[in-house]
């Protein structure tokens, strides 16, 4: 029974496909469809990666980088990013500019700097505001579109945005990377001969036991990383919520006490003023009652009701005043 076909975006498989061994079958056809460089640039392609995915340091595992040099020395940096990565655009730009500036040795001239191109492939949506699935970014004036220099270019291929129907050459590669079942690859190879040899390479790699073992190890590593991240996020959220609740209660109590004092003072002043005015009216009524002034006159000057004035009269009579 034939083994299931491996995913082309498994880090190990991706790294092997873009090796010098498969320049004609994978690397060259891919670059021809992605970049606007003359075909002659790819007559010679050198891979300059310092390590394979499985001997990379832990912080680099799961972030697949491939660096190529073309015939004239153009630097092409291909990065596959499967999971969302904090500050990914900044990270990509950092390594992009580092690759560009790292060309010069002491005593060399700026004019010797070669063009540097980064191709970023993401298995998640990085730029939700971009309607297209494939975009190029240059250093240019946003008002006029005039390039400041043509030595820098970043290409972004967002796999979740790839549509169902062909619209440009890069679409075929988007579908290629998104495919999972052998039937999908067979249909793609039948309809698009430009990726037929690449799919052949993928099938060949899928049939090699050693490759499958390495791919599974990488897949398990990624699962472990996701599990650790998920646990860290949940624990962080739990701790953060508890700390936030405790801090919120503390601040709320402090603010509540302060607010309560402030509100109490205000209410006390308001209540005191109100009661003072009321007592003043009552004193006026008492004095006028003692002078036997008419009830209507007392009510007019004290602003008290007739009933309130009668109540005061009864209190005075009861007390003997």
Question: Phi-psi region for residue 163, left (φ > 0), alpha (ψ -120 to 50) or beta?
Answer: beta
Tell whether 260 is covered by a domain: no
170 and 313 fall within a common domain: no
Tell whether 143 is covered by a domain: yes
Cα(16)–Cα(307) distance, integer angstroms:
101
Cα(61)–Cα(74) distance, integer angstroms:
26
Q: Return the pLDDT at 35.
A: 92
Q: Return the pLDDT at 45.
A: 87
184 and 306 fall within a common domain: no
Count: domains in the chain: 2
Tell whether 168 is covered by a domain: yes
64 and 144 fall within a common domain: yes
pLDDT digits (tens, 9 = 90+) for 186-205: 999 999 999 999 999 999 99
Cα(15)–Cα(74) distance, integer angstroms:
20
pLDDT digits (tens, 9 = 90+) for 290-304: 878 887 777 767 678
Q: Return the pLDDT at 47.
A: 82
Tell whether 261 is covered by a domain: no
51 and 175 fall within a common domain: yes
Last residue within a domain, chosen from 191, 207, 223: 207
Q: Return the pLDDT at 61.
A: 47
Last residue within a domain, chosen from 207, 227, 257: 207
Which residues, given as ranges, of the chain have pLDDT below 70? 1-3, 49-64, 106, 221-279, 300, 302
Q: Return the pLDDT at 241.
A: 61
Last residue within a domain, chosen from 190, 207, 224: 207
296 and 153 fall within a common domain: no
Tokens of 96: 């992009």
DSSP alpha helix (H) spans, the chain? 11-17, 28-34, 88-101, 170-178, 182-191, 196-207, 209-290, 295-302, 306-319
- Specify the DSSP class assigned to residue 140: E
Q: Which domain holds residue 182?
A: 11-207
pLDDT digits (tens, 9 = 90+) for 91-118: 899 999 988 988 888 678 888 899 999 9
Q: Return the pLDDT at 219.
A: 72
188 and 272 fall within a common domain: no
Q: Return the pLDDT at 62.
A: 44
- The rounded Cα 299 to chain-centroid distance in angstroms is 73
């Amino acid at each position: 029974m034939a083994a299931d076909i491996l995913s082309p975006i498994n880090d190990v498989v991706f790294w092997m496909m873009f090796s010098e061994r498969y320049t004609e079958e994978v690397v060259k056809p891919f670059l021809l469809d992605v970049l606007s460089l003359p075909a002659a640039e790819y007559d010679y392609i050198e891979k300059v990666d310092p390590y394979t995915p499985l001997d990379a340091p832990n912080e680099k595992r799961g972030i697949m980088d491939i660096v190529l040099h073309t015939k004239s020395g153009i630097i092409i940096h291909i990065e596959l990013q499967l999971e969302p990565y904090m500050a990914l655009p900044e990270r990509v730009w950092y390594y992009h500019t580092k690759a560009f500036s790292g060309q010069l040795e002491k005593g060399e001239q700026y004019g010797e700097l070669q063009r540097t191109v980064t191709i970023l492939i993401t298995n998640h949506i990085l730029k939700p505001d971009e309607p297209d699935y494939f975009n190029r970014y240059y250093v240019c004036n946003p008002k006029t579109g005039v390039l400041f220099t043509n030595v820098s270019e970043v290409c972004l291929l967002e796999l979740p945005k790839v549509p169902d129907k062909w619209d440009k050459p890069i679409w075929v590669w988007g579908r290629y990377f998104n495919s999972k079942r052998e039937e999908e690859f067979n249909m793609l190879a039948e309809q698009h001969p430009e990726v037929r040899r690449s799919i052949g390479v993928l099938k060949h790699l899928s049939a090699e036991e050693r490759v499958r073992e390495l791919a599974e190890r990488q897949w398990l590593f990624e699962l472990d990383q996701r599990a650790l991240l998920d646990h860290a996020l949940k624990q962080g959220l739990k701790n953060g919520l508890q700390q936030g609740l405790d801090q919120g209660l503390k601040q709320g109590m402090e603010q509540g006490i302060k607010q309560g004092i402030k509100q109490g003072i205000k209410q006390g002043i308001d209540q005191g003023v109100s009661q003072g005015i009321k007592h003043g009216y009552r004193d006026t009524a008492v004095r006028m009652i003692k002078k036997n002034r008419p009830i209507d006159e007392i009510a007019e000057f004290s602003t008290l009701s007739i009933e309130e004035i009668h109540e005061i009269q009864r209190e005075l009579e009861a007390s003997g005043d």
